[in-house]
Amino acid sequence: MSTIESLGDLKGKRVLVRSDLNVPLEWDAGTPVITDDGRIRASVPTIRQLSEAGARVVVTAHLGRPDGAPDPAYSLAPVAARLGELLGRDVAFATDTVGESASATVEGLGEGDVAVLENVRFNSGETSKDDAVRASFADQLAQLADAFVSDGFGVVHRKQASVYDVALRLPSAMGGLVATEIDVLRRLTVDPDRPYVVVLGGSKVSDKLGVIDNLLEKADKLLIGGGMVFTFLKAQGLEVGKSLLEEDQLETCTRYVAEAKERGVEIVLPTDIVVADSFGDEASARVVPASEIPAEALGLDIGPESAQAFAAALADARTVFWNGPMGVFEVPAFAGGTRVVAEALTKVDGLSVVGGGDSAAAVRQLGFEESAFGHISTGGGASLEYLEGKELPGIAVLERD
C-alpha cells in the first residue's frame, strides 16, 4: 500500500486529504462548542507532514449526517478553527466543497498552506449508492488536487466519493493515521501475543456478531459487559428485569457460549450488576447479584465484584482489544465498571487497544491520559468491520494494482 513518501516531491502540489473530523458538538447560546477534539488532534500529524513538505493541503471531511444538503448545524467552520489552533497557524475555510468558494480558496493557497473545505456530506453525491452520481462528485473533488491522501480511518469502511472514488482518480496514498490503525489491527488478528483478551460492551449483541464470530477463533478470553450482557444472562435462564434485551439473539448467545467452551475460550460474564428503577442522574443505584435482578429494575453497569474480576482477567494479558463501555458511563453512578476496565488496560504489559467510538469517548471523559494506552482507535465502526474480516473499501482502493 502506498505511503505519502511514494507520492514523491509534493512541494507546491495540491494534496487533497480525507480526514475524519467528525467530532461531537454542543451548542452554548448559539455557539458550537467541540466537546471532544480527539479526532482533530489525531489528524494533525499527517496534515503537518504534508504542510512541512511544501504541499498546498486541502482537507475534506464530514460532520454528522446533514442528509446531502447544507445545514449550518453541521458546518465544519468551528472544526477548521480548532485545527488551526492545533497546527499553530491560520487555516483557510471554504464555505462549500466543490463550488466557487472551494476553487478560490484552493487557488489562494501557497506552499505549506492548509485549507478545510465545508462538510463533504452537504453534497448528495458523497454518500450516493448510485456509482455514476458518486463518480461525478468525485470528479469535481479531484479537480481541486494533484494527489490524494486517505487519512480518515473512521470512514474507510464506507464506499463514498471522498473515501473511495477520488482515490481512483488521483495518485493516492495512505496517511500516517490510517497506516498506524491498520498496523495495530493486523497485530490483533495475525499471530497476536498471548494471552489475548477481548473486552466487549455497548448496548447490543447484534452490533458485535461478526466480531465475536471472528475473534472466538483468536482470543483466549472474552469479557462481556454493557447492555449486551443481559441477552447473555437471559440465554442462561436468568431474569434481567427491564434491562436491555434482544430476544432474537438468545439462541446466538447460547451458541457463542457453547462454541467458546469447545474452543477452550473463557467467556467471563458479570456476577453482580448495578441497577436502578429508572435511568438518569437522579436514579438511585444499587448493586444486586446478576442472578437476582429485580423485575422492576434496569441493569446499567457491571457491579464492583465483576469489575475487579474483569481487571484480574486482564492482569496477565499481552494483547487486549476493548470495544464498548461496561455501563452508562456518562452518568457517574454507572461509570464504575468502565473506569475499572480502562484502568486495567493502562497496566497491560503488551498491546492495549481501545476500539474507538464510545470506548474512546469514555476514556477521555473519565480523565485518562491517552498515552496510557497502547492505541486508541479513531474509527469504531471501521475497527469492528476489520476485525470481522470484512474488506474496507477505503483500504482496498489503496491496495489495488
4-179 and 191-388 have identical folds: yes
Instruction: Confirm if 323 and 377 have CB atoms less than 8 A apart.
Output: no
How many helices and strands, by DSSP H and E, does the chain display? 13, 17
Judge residue 396's burial from the number of C-beta atoms within 10 Å of its C-beta, 0-12 exposed, 13-18 middle, 19 or more buried: middle
269 is in an annotated binding site: no
Closest CA to 378 of 51, 19, 64: 19
Instruction: Confirm if 366 and 373 have CB atoms less than 8 A apart.
Output: no
Instruction: Confirm if 350 and 321 have CB atoms less than 8 A apart.
Output: no
Q: Other CB atoms closer than 10 Å to residue 200's CB: what's the count?
A: 25
Residue 226 annotated among the catalytic residues of the structure: no
CA distances from 195 to 41, 310, 315, 372 (A): 32, 14, 10, 20
Residue 264 annotated among the catalytic residues of the structure: no
Q: What is the pLDDT of residue 290?
A: 97
C-alpha cell at 71: 445545514
State how far the Cα of 397 lies from the Cα of 212, in Å rounded to an integer.
27
Give the list of residues 6+ apart from residue 231 with CB closer than 8 angstroms, or none.
205, 244, 245, 246, 249, 250, 253
Full pLDDT tens readout for the chain, 401 residues? 689 999 999 999 999 999 999 999 998 888 899 998 989 999 999 999 999 999 999 999 999 999 899 999 999 999 999 999 999 999 999 999 999 999 999 999 999 999 999 999 999 999 999 999 999 999 999 999 999 999 999 999 999 999 999 999 999 999 999 999 999 999 999 999 999 999 999 888 888 888 899 999 899 999 999 999 999 999 999 999 999 999 999 999 999 999 999 999 999 999 999 999 988 777 789 999 999 999 999 999 999 999 999 999 999 999 999 999 999 999 999 999 999 999 999 999 999 999 877 888 899 889 999 899 999 988 888 888 998 889 999 999 998 75
- Considering 204, 242, 286, 364, which one is annotated as catalytic? 204
Q: Other CB atoms closer than 10 Å to residue 6's CB: what's the count?
A: 11
For the chain, the domains span 4-179, 191-388
Closest CA to 19 of 128, 113, 116: 116
Q: Other CB atoms closer than 10 Å to residue 315's CB: what's the count?
A: 13
62 is in an annotated binding site: yes
Residue 221 annotated among the catalytic residues of the structure: no
379 is in an annotated binding site: no
- Considering 201, 327, 357, 394, which one is annotated as catalytic? 357
Side chain identity at 294, as an amino acid letter? P
357 is in an annotated binding site: yes
Class of domain 4-179: alpha beta
Q: Other CB atoms closer than 10 Å to residue 27's CB: what's the count?
A: 9
- Considering 39, 48, 218, 221, which one is annotated as catalytic? 39
Q: What is the pLDDT of residue 28?
A: 86
For CA atoms 222, 228, 229, 233, the dihedral sign is: negative
84 is in an annotated binding site: no
HSE-CB for 37 with a 13 A CA cutoff: 16
Q: What is the pLDDT of residue 139?
A: 98
Superfamily of domain 191-388: Phosphoglycerate kinase, N-terminal domain (3.40.50.1260)
Q: What is the pLDDT of residue 207?
A: 85
Q: Other CB atoms closer than 10 Å to residue 263's CB: what's the count?
A: 13
Residue 39 annotated among the catalytic residues of the structure: yes
Q: Which phi and psi angles does 124 have, rounded to 5°?
A: -65, -25
64 is in an annotated binding site: yes
